[in-house]
Amino acid sequence: MKKFLLSGLMFCFSFLPVMAENIHFDDGVYKLKSVDNDNSKIENEYYKDGENEESWTSKVEIIYHPDVSNPLKYASDMDKKISTKENLLLLKFVQNKKLDIAVLTYLENELKDDCACFIYNVLKYEKHPDKGIMVLRFAKKYIVNSNEDIKRIANEVKLINDDYMERIIISPIPPIVKENIN
């Protein structure tokens, strides 16, 4: 009887949908809201409750590049791209060649619907256990209404940058979700 009951329970649980875990970062809980799978890369976007792609204060992204093999070279190329764009400001770029991990941070300025903001980005690049590389990105948005806001944001980013880099280095990258969650 016990074997029959156990077999029945295992059969029932085998048909439950696989759900992505929530991500806990920066004292927030982020839930998977979108999956973009275009065969060259897979992106998972996580937002806090009540936030989405159009309206957010912070978010976490996990990006899987199956055809990229070297996270250090990829991060270095991103570093060079950031340095050439007018609306991006590179803050810091570090590599650990022994662990094949790179971390970079940058500020992005954006003007959307007459709303100016800065987006603080911190990204970690590392090898995927099987093939390709994984990128973990945390982004935090700051609304800019005055010059005082710019000074306040600059001071905050200066204070948090090293801490966020350390946090993202020790944060494990969750498995990628390949199929849409709807």
pLDDT digits (tens, 9 = 90+) for 33-47: 999 988 789 999 999
* pLDDT at position 75 over 70: yes
Q: What separation in angstroms does the CA of 16 have from each of 10, 68, 92, 114?
A: 10, 33, 43, 45
Structure confidence at residue 20 as a pLDDT band (50, 70, 90)? low
Q: pLDDT band at residue 68, thresholds of 50, 70 and 90?
A: very high
